[in-house]
Structure 1
Amino acid sequence: MKTVYSPDHAAHAGHWEVARGAMVPCFEKPIRAEYVRARVEEVGLGEIVLPKVWSMETARKVHDPAYLAFLGKAWDMWAAEGNHTSALPMTWPVRGLRNDVPPECIEGLLGFYSMDAGASITAGTWKAVKASMDCALTAAEIVAGGARAAFALCRPPGHHSGPAFMGGYCFINNASVAAQWFRDQGAARVAILDVDYHHGNGTQDIFYERGDVFVANIHGDPKTEYPYFLGHADETGRGAGEGCNVNYPLPFGTAWDTWSLALDAACDRAEAFGAEVIVVSLGVDTFERDPISAFKLKTADYPKMGARIAKLGKPTLFVFEGGYAVDEIGVNAVGVLTGFEGR
């Protein structure tokens, strides 16, 4: 299995985030991708290749072009005001405020185009975000070219990013861009299987009214877990998308025996949908020692996860998302891939 990786991911290194009422060092940091890449090499998973440079054409089909333009200029606007550390929002257009008139200043735009204070922007953020998307599209092209699977080692991650907002460390929704690209190449139906601990709210939002992309999320119950405001079991799609969205919210402490039942159900639904291609949003923050999550999956469970996805027998793109137990992140993420390959 080929891995698509860009060293440009390291250009994005936020100084801090807001968590539990405090400014803390970012959990999402460059070393995450380096540990995964090192593990890919250690097990001999396959060739590691650099991404091609892609246009923003496909991204504009799942994201508001104005939002993408904002991402490209945000740091320059922030720095022009004399700022030198991470840009973070502090005001949001919540209920009762208008959200139809974008502010002209960077402080207002940061809130207008975000869902939380967890996606900091630095001087190198756009470079890394663009490279992350390029990794996803290059890996998708490898799969479309006949490979059974490919791994996009994307960083920053993407699944919390919606049509016109960033958040949860995410800026461009890499899995959604890849799914759209598969559709544009002729795949009639695509399934996105999100196994990250946190609900992929951005992915759900992007495809919620579409019947050509099926989205399944297995995640912490939003009644008690981030992102709190999406991911309930009664969210099944709308209009043409009715029945094309399924959520499996699970309680704190969920271990493999219960989690795997949700995976079985999600895979069965994807198969019944008639998906021609599977896109896996691969987060490994389901791990028992993840510092910001509360499931209890063990390292030995991740190859079983990959083996179950392999049973679908479909061309599969793995897109890297979350996972913050850095010491184990490479073993767990690559364990899914080796399990998929039947090692």
Structure 2
Amino acid sequence: MIAVFDPRQLAHAPEREMHNGGWATYNETPARAETILAAIGPTRPARDLGMAPIAAVHDPAYLDFLAVAHRDWVAAGREGDAVGYTWPVVGRRPLDLRRIDARLGRYSYDAGTPISAGTWTAAYWSAQTALTALDDMAADPHGRAFALCRPPGHHAGRDYMGGYCYLNNAAIVAAEARARGLGPVSVLDVDYHHGNGTQDIFLDDPDVLTVSIHADPSTDYPFFWGHADERGEGAGLGATLNLPLPRGSGWSEYEPALDLAAAAIAAHGTRFLVVSFGADTFVGDPISYFTFARGDFGRLGRRIAALDLPTVIVMEGGYATSELGHNVAAFLVPFADPPAATASRS
């Protein structure tokens, strides 16, 4: 299995975030990627495949904002990381907003996604890591690749950031795979939190199926999206499947949802799979409440690998840093097996 990482992703290092009403140490640290690297072994470097695949998913004005936001924050006389404090909950529309505070509100939806001096560089190379993984395995009908992306991406929408996410790496790969004629494409999100940005990007798109197994948003972030009645809109009605589970769910509760996800992926006629993988389903995760043990990540990997589809796995969440590398490695092991061997053990 191919694995890709670029060290420029470590440049993103905010100091703090707003969490549960107060300032907290930022959870999505460079150490997350470093502990995964130590556990999975050698990786290939990312290549610069340009802005076009990113711009195919994200709004040009939003990309321009990300590239200059921290510079403009400093130019306004501010210190530290750029964080918004005002959001347009109604009447959200394009406006000529000059002040950095206004633009932070226009292009974000929470106060937990600060922009540091290295954020744009890291987010850009996170997307290039995902694109390189796709590029390196796309010609193989059984190809499998792991993109060690950081910062993560599945909460980022076409023109907004949130949930530690700035560019939606999974959506960028899905759109590029379709553009290369590799579809139909499905995105399977197995992070603890709903991939609201991915859903939003493809909400009215019948060609890309989005399936998410996640914590019930009535109790967990991102709250406003990921409910079971969200099925897509317009031409995309029926191409969105949300499978929320209650806090405390473990493998016995998770596996039936995975069966439903696999059935939907097969019914879509999927020929290319993107997996948004989060290890924050782990029982020891500090901000999540499922109860996966390390062995459950191997079970999850075997079930997904047994679908026998060309697959790019994009790293999303997981914040129990001391265990994160081991949990990611356990998930990835089945993808190194020949497809027939994986299927025989599923």
Alignment of 1:81-100 (within 5 A): 81-95=76-90, 97-100=91-94
Structure 1 residue 104: Cα displacement = 1.0
Which of 229, 236, 241 pairs up with 2:236?
Answer: 241
- Equivalent position to 1:297, from 282, 287, 292: 292
Deviates most, 306-315 or 100-109: 100-109
Cα pair 2:39 2:325 within 8 Å, conserved:
yes
Q: Determine the structure 1 residue equivalent to 2:224.
A: 229
The runs of 5 or more residues in structure 2 that have no matched partner are none
Q: CA deviation at 1:83?
A: 2.3
After superposition, the Cα gap between the structure-2 partners of 1:257 and 1:98, relative to the gap in structure 1 and judged at 3 Å, is closer
The amino acid that maps onto 1:29 is T
1:52 aligns with 2:63: no
TM-superposition CA deviations, 1:53-86 (whole Å, max 9, x none): 1211111121111101110111111111222301
Q: Which letter maps to 2:74?
A: A
What's 1:12 paired with?
Answer: 12
Alignment-mate amino acid for residue 157 of structure 2: G
Identity of aligned residues (%): 46
In the alignment, which residue of structure 2 is the partner of 1:26?
26
The DSSP-based 3-state class of the residue aligned with 2:35 is: helix
1:168-183 correspondence runs (5 A) = 168-183=163-178
Q: Secondary structure at the match of 1:318?
A: strand
The aligned counterpart of 1:134 is: 128
For residue 52 of structure 2, give the secondary structure of its aligned residue in structure 1: coil
Distance 1:65 1:21 in 2: 32
Give the equivalent residue in structure 1 for 2:213: 218
Q: How many angstroms does 1:182 deviate by?
A: 0.3
What does residue 334 of structure 2 align with?
Answer: 339
Distance in 2, Cα, partners of 1:3 & 1:34: 14
Once the two structures are overlaid, the 10-residue window that deviates more, 211-220 or 333-342, is 333-342
Corresponding residue pairs, total: 337
Structure 1 segments of 4+ aligned residues over 4 angstroms from their partners: none
Aligned partner of 1:248: which letter?
A: L
* Other-structure match for 1:44: none
Give distance in 2, aligned partners of 1:64 and 1:150. 27
**Secondary structure at 1:58 match in 2:** helix
Q: Distance in 1 between matches of 2:111 and 2:184?
A: 34
**Does the 8 Å CA contact 1:310/1:341 hold for their aligned counterparts?**
no
Q: 1:102 to 1:216 in 2, by over 3 A?
A: farther
In the superposition, the TM-score normalised over structure 1's length comes to 0.96
Q: Secondary structure, in 3 states, of the residue corresponding to 1:300?
A: helix
**Aligned counterparts, 1:68-217, within 5 A:** 68-95=63-90, 97-146=91-140, 148-217=143-212
* Deviation at residue 98 of structure 1 after TM alignment: 4.7
- Alignment partner of 2:316 out of 316, 321, 327: 321
Indicate the residue corresponding to 1:288 in structure 2.
283
CA RMSD of aligned residues (A): 1.2
Which of 37, 44, 62 is equivalent to 1:67?
Answer: 62
Assess, with a 3 A threshold, how the Cα gap between structure 1 residues 145 and 306 changes in structure 2: closer, same or farther.
same
Distance 1:264 1:31 in 2: 34
User: Does the CA-based 8 Å contact 2:70-2:117 persist in structure 1?
Assistant: yes
Is the Cα–Cα contact under 8 Å of residues 198 and 219 in structure 1 kept in the other structure? Answer: yes
Compare 320-329 and 141-150 and name the one that shifted more. 141-150
- Give the AA of the match of 2:81: S
C-alpha offsets along residues 73-132 of structure 1, whole Å, 9 cap, x if unaligned? 11111111222301100000013x553324211111001100101111111111100000
